[in-house]
Amino acid sequence: MLNNLINIDDVLVSKEILQKNFTCDLDKCKGACCTMESDYGAPLLEEEIEKITSVLPQAKKYLSDVQIEKIEKNGFHFEIDGEIMVKAIDNKDCIFAYYDNDIAKCSIEKVYYTEDTDFIKPLSCHLFPIRINQFGGDILKYEVYDECSGAVALGKITEIPVSEFCGNGLKRKYGESWYNKLRNQKV
């Protein structure tokens, strides 16, 4: 495992992030990252709660009455074992997912692109399919999901590595300088 990791300024990065290609194909997956069946929703950072709360009034325009009622009644997040998670509807749809025809999309991201806010979406969503694990520091891993097989197939055509596909999220988390060091790695 350790020989599959590179160290960039004390952040361990799986080489797969540089080696594997990935480009979302929403026509194939239908926004599966927003609708994956699980007991837990996307991880949230503490500081994201306030940011989501501030864009929630705009995001509600894209949500169903059921979603709005659940948010107003029980909130949009919960904590388990010290981790903060987004709530889901019926252990599947993210509480913030809306449908554009048959494709699930993020209402928070929709607000970012249409109403000039400064919060695009939770970092864990921005980095998907990269996950950050903690083990004495950040360890970045490429997570493989069957639902993303179309993105892997399209990635072979576009030849865009996971690191580039997730570039904006990586820059958001670690900064431009760190990201450039990652991009310049030879694997």
Kindly report, residue by residue over 164-179, the tens digit of the pLDDT.
999 999 999 999 999 9
80 lies in a domain? yes
Q: Which residue type, as a one-letter code, is found at position 81?
A: D
Question: Residues 114, 135: one domain?
Answer: no
Question: Residues 4, 72: one domain?
Answer: no
Mean pLDDT in residue range 116-137: 92
79 lies in a domain? yes
123 lies in a domain? no
38 pLDDT band (50/70/90 cuts)? confident
* Last residue of one domain, picked from the residues 118, 141, 174: 118
Question: Residues 54, 86: one domain?
Answer: yes
13 pLDDT exceeds 60? yes
29 lies in a domain? no
Question: Residues 86, 139: one domain?
Answer: no
Question: Residues 142, 174: one domain?
Answer: yes
Question: Residues 110, 158: one domain?
Answer: no
Q: First vs last Cα of the chain: how many Å apart?
A: 15
28 lies in a domain? no
Question: Residues 6, 43: one domain?
Answer: no
* 101: DSSP letter: T
27 lies in a domain? no
* Last residue of one domain, picked from the residues 118, 144, 167: 118
Question: Residues 92, 161: one domain?
Answer: no
pLDDT value at position 41?
A: 83
Question: Residues 52, 110: one domain?
Answer: yes
3-state secondary structure 127-169: HCCEEEEECCCEEEEECCCHHHHHHHHHHHHHCCEHHHHCHHH
Structural domain boundaries, residue 81: 36-118
127 pLDDT exceeds 80? yes
* Last residue of one domain, picked from the residues 118, 142, 174: 118
Mean pLDDT in residue range 43-65: 96
pLDDT value at position 149?
A: 94
113 pLDDT band (50/70/90 cuts)? very high
Q: What SS3 class is residue 110?
A: helix
CB 45 within 8 A of CB 172: no
30 lies in a domain? no
The domain total for the chain is 2
Question: Residues 13, 48: one domain?
Answer: no
183 lies in a domain? yes
